[in-house]
Structure 1
């Protein structure tokens, strides 16, 4: 990873179709990547398929596709199709997602997430190379899947990870890790486990993609108010709570968790300290935001991906946040 990368999450606020001109403008602004997500809005693949035509210079990535909500073969087919349409420009990011998305929204049991991620990585590496797969994994069994679409080159597969075992798995059996909801000062703690995993197969520079939440152009009080709502929505999900306990924020988040569990939503928001919001949410003037994002890169992130939160037309802030 020698090229300096600068990514943006798509689709941006608004409808996908109306973003054609802005996405086409991204390479000229200095953006190298666009990365999608998949929760309760757009699916992960359609925005990237459009971007592959609108801005053929951009690298495309999913961050992430849940490993539970598509069958393994369907996931492989979707990835191979997009990788064939954009040769050498697509990276597949997968992850376990959360019990909320998997169980509550999709009615699928959120069982053995580590094993499911590991098994999916192993299956995908074979299927995306075009191999016939007949295998019994711990969490699913494949009987005679023959991929009829095979991209050349096969896309790299990255794994979303939060804590040490999954981070090492991302480096050991994946092509790198995708992380989010961490501060710039947390990056060395996280990245070292990815590097440890990658070192076991002789790789010294695994990719580390970080989705970074950015609220530009707002005064501090407004940005922190929005940021508190975003943080509370995630930090009360078990996997993110465990992540921040591991990072050492148990004491800082303790009052928020206690108020939330007591049903006091207003009190929970108020209990999130300003300094924690400032660590996890990039806000302020565009130049200050760029400097904050660069801190993630200096700390070990190879691909920063801006997740932009704005009211109204996102184009002015997309342009203002372009790399200098």
Structure 2
């Protein structure tokens, strides 16, 4: 199981050059992946373009960019630019539907039939990521488009934030995997892995990646760490897709699935995720600067062994 670090899911916003420095530190610490959420601060692909030019080997991942506000042609153009800036095949574009409260309530788009939207989105996006022109006449997207980014290695890897059954089947059949949040080991083993792996097998594709992102804190007092997690992540329990994952685990709140505790306790929880079928764990550190640094250093020390 590969181990990476994600930013943007907790704590205050930081400057764009600080993001580049965080990517450099993650690479120096031995993490496999440096990922960034795309919520209401910096544009993740823009920031990772800068990070790609200042790092050498670490994988760069968005987790995730919402599809509704960006035409798939614009999304592909940005992705190919990140790939070109990173000088190799190390950008993974994680995309997702976001949430009804965001898409309808904030942006004013319809969130009707979201899986259908994503299917048509991929019809345009995936060929462009492979350097191929696209002609489409779908319900949501119609037209003829192409891109020419000669210094970008192709195809750019694409993954979905897939948690519902229709999205998991789509992710397995057409993309490189799923990026999860607030999803515990028991749910990966009993639901996520069987669903997405079966879809990939039926489509004749390799087994997909299952990337699990969770809050993580190294702390000798689990109750204190859980209380801090409750303060920072409680809102995720109110979003239907994450609520569904928590309910499948029998977890009341987001802090109940966070990775918390001593070195031994954290390592045990990570091994459980690996045994459940997780291919990549990406930690979101939280708490004070000292707590985040201590957790990140310990997680980096595990990266070669898990």
Q: TM-score range by the shorter chain?
A: 0.7 to 0.9
- Taking a change above 3 Å as real, the CA distance of residues 28 and 187 of structure 1, as seen in their structure-2 partners, is same
- Give the match's secondary structure for 2:289: coil
* C-alpha deviation, 1:20, in angstroms: 4.5
Q: Which residue of 1 aligns with 2:28?
A: 28
Query: RMSD of the alignment, in Å?
Result: 2.3
Checking the alignment, whether the CA contact within 8 Å between 1:287 and 1:321 is kept in structure 2 is no
The yes-or-no answer on 1:170 pairing with 2:171 is yes
* C-alpha deviation, 1:22, in angstroms: 4.6
User: For 1:181 and 1:298, how far apart are their aligned partners in 2?
Assistant: 17
Q: Which residue of 2 aligns with 1:319?
A: 297
- Give the match's secondary structure for 1:171: helix
Q: Which residue of 1 aligns with 2:46?
A: 46
User: For 1:20 and 1:79, how far apart are their aligned partners in 2?
Assistant: 17
User: For 1:123 and 1:20, how far apart are their aligned partners in 2?
Assistant: 30
Checking the alignment, whether the CA contact within 8 Å between 2:49 and 2:81 is kept in structure 1 is no
- Give the match's secondary structure for 1:316: helix
What pairs with 1:210-289 in structure 2 (closer than 5 Å)?
210-217=212-219, 219-230=221-232, 232-245=234-247, 247=248, 249=250, 253=252, 272=253, 277-278=255-256, 280-289=257-266
Checking the alignment, whether the CA contact within 8 Å between 2:19 and 2:47 is kept in structure 1 is no
- Give the match's secondary structure for 1:167: helix
Q: 5+ residue gaps in structure 1? A: 254-271
Which TM-score applies when normalising by structure 2? 0.87
Which TM-score applies when normalising by structure 1? 0.83
Q: How many residues align?
A: 295
Checking the alignment, whether the CA contact within 8 Å between 1:286 and 1:317 is kept in structure 2 is no
Q: Which residue of 1 aligns with 2:196?
A: 194
* C-alpha deviation, 1:24, in angstroms: 2.0
- Give the match's secondary structure for 1:321: helix
Q: Which residue of 1 aligns with 2:60?
A: 60
Which one is further off, 123-132 or 225-234? 225-234
* C-alpha deviation, 1:130, in angstroms: 2.2
User: For 1:291 and 1:50, how far apart are their aligned partners in 2?
Assistant: 35
User: For 2:265 and 2:82, how far apart are their aligned partners in 1?
Assistant: 35
The yes-or-no answer on 1:149 pairing with 2:149 is yes
Checking the alignment, whether the CA contact within 8 Å between 1:6 and 1:31 is kept in structure 2 is yes
User: For 2:154 and 2:195, how far apart are their aligned partners in 1?
Assistant: 27
Q: Which residue of 2 aligns with 1:291?
A: 268
Q: Which residue of 2 aligns with 1:102?
A: 103
Q: Which residue of 2 aligns with 1:5?
A: 2
Deviations 1:128-172 (A, max 9, x none): 12222221223x223121213253221111111112221111100
User: For 1:230 and 1:164, how far apart are their aligned partners in 2?
Assistant: 28
Checking the alignment, whether the CA contact within 8 Å between 2:187 and 2:245 is kept in structure 1 is no
Q: 5+ residue gaps in structure 2? A: none
- Give the match's secondary structure for 1:208: strand
Deviations 1:267-310 (A, max 9, x none): xxxxx5xxx744x1111234532332232122111111111112
* C-alpha deviation, 1:98, in angstroms: 0.6
User: For 2:89 and 2:72, how far apart are their aligned partners in 1?
Assistant: 22
Deviations 1:236-291 (A, max 9, x none): 2223334444x263xx64xxxxxxxxxxxxxxxxxx5xxx744x111123453233
